[in-house]
């Protein structure tokens, strides 16, 4: 049975997480802005306080032990809570101020949110925005973000969620590509074309493939799991791929293909923890995202 010799310091946990992620004291030190010996002392102190060996030292770095693997999600939760605490502290005072952390997919974050966030910041210059680009469903209950833009309906009861509409996904190609290779008139015509799609299969991809078997992995000329890279390839005239109709509409050279059969509505939700409803920084950001994404989905 382990007994703690002294209460671990939060800084030690932060160093623990950085070493677990990077595999070395020097890389962790660079990430944290700390000297390598300082990070080493933090790890030694945490191991001593917990009575556990957290890393196996070797010539090529630090390998997390089984104990470290079990502790890591709890340390990550402490990190998320500490960051959320700082965001709340930064917002205390009159008016809309402080930091709000938003998570969204890469395509939404790069292509859709910037003008929405620019207008929000212009209206509230004391607001600081942190934008996390990820397709992972960040856990708002764990405070990993304040507000999430999601393409699935949030299921947690403690979340305030609003559906802003359905983003339509369609099949597109650049005019330059079609001029060189012809325009498919039916799904069967896709077999002779350069198709752009996924790399790693998932349950969602398999369900989608049942409906669009022409996009089986073996048939793809470009395989990439980044929606942003796929969009770039379509714009460059590489071939035929899927993208948001609202984005394609911005480029007159992108041509919609087979719209009657190739249309996927993607429900779009804005969600935040209901405890943040009374927070001015979160309330104005939530409203701006609902309004801005609503305009993007259904322009006036």
Instruction: Looking at the structure, tell me whether residues 184 and 63 fall in a common domain.
Output: no
Residue 55 lies in a domain: yes
Query: What residue numbers bound the domain in which 289 lies?
Result: 86-165+267-297
CATH of the domain at 251: 3.40.190.10
Instruction: Looking at the structure, tell me whether residues 59 and 24 fall in a common domain.
Output: yes
Separation CA 60–CA 295 (nearest Å) = 52
Residues 6+ apart with CB under 8 A from 22: 28, 31
Q: Is 262 helix (H, G, I), strand (E, B) or coil?
A: coil
Neighbours of 298 (CB within 10 A): 11
Q: What is the pTM of this model?
A: 0.69
- Taken as a whole, the chain contains a residue count of 300
Tens of pLDDT, residues 1-36: 444 446 667 788 888 888 888 888 889 889 888 888
Instruction: Looking at the structure, tell me whether residues 104 and 191 fall in a common domain.
Output: no
For residue 138, the Cα-to-chain-centroid distance in whole angstroms is 8
Print pLDDT tens along the chain (300 aa): 444 446 667 788 888 888 888 888 889 889 888 888 898 899 888 888 888 888 888 777 788 888 888 888 878 777 776 766 666 666 555 667 688 999 999 999 999 999 999 999 999 998 999 999 987 765 665 667 889 999 888 877 778 899 999 999 999 999 999 999 999 999 999 998 999 999 999 888 999 999 999 999 999 999 999 999 999 999 999 999 999 999 999 999 999 999 999 999 999 999 988 888 878 888 889 999 999 999 999 875
Separation CA 18–CA 231 (nearest Å) = 33
Nearest to 222 by CA among 230, 211, 214: 230
Instruction: Looking at the structure, tell me whether residues 100 and 124 fall in a common domain.
Output: yes
Of the residues 61, 79, 97, the one at which a domain ends: 79
Residue 21 lies in a domain: yes
Of the residues 79, 94, 122, the one at which a domain ends: 79
Contact (CB, 8 A) for 199 and 223: yes
Instruction: Looking at the structure, tell me whether residues 90 and 219 fall in a common domain.
Output: no
* Distance between first and last Cα of the chain: 66
**DSSP for 260-287?**
TT-EEEEEEEEEEEGGGTT-HHHHHHHH
Of the residues 79, 95, 111, the one at which a domain ends: 79
Distance of CA 8 to CAs 117, 143, 165, Å? 39, 22, 47
């Amino acid at each position: 049975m382990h007994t703690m010799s002294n209460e671990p310091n939060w800084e030690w946990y932060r160093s623990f997480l950085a070493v677990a992620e990077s595999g070395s004291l020097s890389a962790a030190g660079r990430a944290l802005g700390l000297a390598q010996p300082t990070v080493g002392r933090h790890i030694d102190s945490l191991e001593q306080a917990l009575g556990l060996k957290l890393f196996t030292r070797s010539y090529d770095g630090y390998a997390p032990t089984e104990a470290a693997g079990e502790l890591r999600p709890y340390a990550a939760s402490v990190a998320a809570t500490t960051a959320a605490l700082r965001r709340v502290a930064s917002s205390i005072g009159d008016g809309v101020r402080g930091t709000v952390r938003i998570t969204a997919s890469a395509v939404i974050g790069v292509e859709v949110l910037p003008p929405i966030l620019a207008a929000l910041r212009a209206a509230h210059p004391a607001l600081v925005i942190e934008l996390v680009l990820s397709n992972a469903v960040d856990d708002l209950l764990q405070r990993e973000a304040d507000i999430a833009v999601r393409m699935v309906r949030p299921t947690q009861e403690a979340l305030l969620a609003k559906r802003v509409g359905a983003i339509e996904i369609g099949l597109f190609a650049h005019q330059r590509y079609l001029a060189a290779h012809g325009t498919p008139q039916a799904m069967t015509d896709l077999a002779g074309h350069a198709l752009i799609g996924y790399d790693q299969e998932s349950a969602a991809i398999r369900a989608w493939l049942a409906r669009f078997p022409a996009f089986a992995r073996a048939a793809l000329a470009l395989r990439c799991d980044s929606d942003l890279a796929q969009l770039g390839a379509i714009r460059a005239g590489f071939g035929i791929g899927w993208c948001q109709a609202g984005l394609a509409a911005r480029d007159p050279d992108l041509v919609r293909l087979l719209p009657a059969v190739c249309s996927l509505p993607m429900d779009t939700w804005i969600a935040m923890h209901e405890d943040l409803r009374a927070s001015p920084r979160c309330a104005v950001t939530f409203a701006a995202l609902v309004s801005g994404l609503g305009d993007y989905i259904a322009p006036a």
